[in-house]
Amino acid sequence: MSEEARFTLTLEHLEDYEFKVKFDKKILDDMLVDEPPPLGGLAGPNPSRLLAVSAANCLSASLLYCINRGEVPPASVTTEATVTIVRNEKKRLRIGRIDVALQMSEALSGAQKTKRCMNLFEDFCVVSDSIRNGIPIGVEVMDHTGEVIHRNDD
């Protein structure tokens, strides 16, 4: 990849399984994320829900851009993401699948570029294509002094 961009988000532990997410560049106000019961109190979406939102929104935006190139009529698409949680061979919970259904409005369905975009828009979705192809995740854990006590560069 010849072009690279980077951003950093910060999660601050509040209590139990609740975290405050601080976005870079003050794009959004801080957001709470939490696990559902019995671990957490569902004070905000959990990571699985955020991943589904990311994939669904990216596909929706890619479809709208492909068809309209910036001239998007309001209420053009309603998107539903369904996540299937499975257990892997070690009996750990994993996201087994994300199914995304996009319902276009009449105006969008009848747009001139709609048919052509059906073979293109998925390829331009940064998130869903990254998930499909697997994303390497490096992990580093530091103790209170900043010393690295665990590193995984997979």
Beta bridge partners of 2: none
135 in any annotated domain: no
148 in any annotated domain: no
pLDDT by residue (tens digit) across 35-63? 999 999 999 999 999 999 999 999 999 99
Mark whether 74 and 113 lie in a shared domain: yes
Mark whether 35 and 73 lie in a shared domain: no
Domain limits at 105?
A: 46-119
142 in any annotated domain: no
Structural contact between residues 96 and 102, judged by C-beta atoms closer than 8 angstroms: no
Mark whether 33 and 66 lie in a shared domain: no
pLDDT by residue (tens digit) across 27-40? 778 899 999 999 99
Q: With b meaning 16 or more CB within 10 Å and e meaning fewer, what string describes 116-135?
A: ebeeebbebbebbeebeeee
85 in any annotated domain: yes
Smallest Cα–Cα separation from 121: which of 85, 75, 76? Answer: 76
pLDDT by residue (tens digit) across 111-132? 888 899 998 999 999 999 999 9
pTM (2 d.p.): 0.85
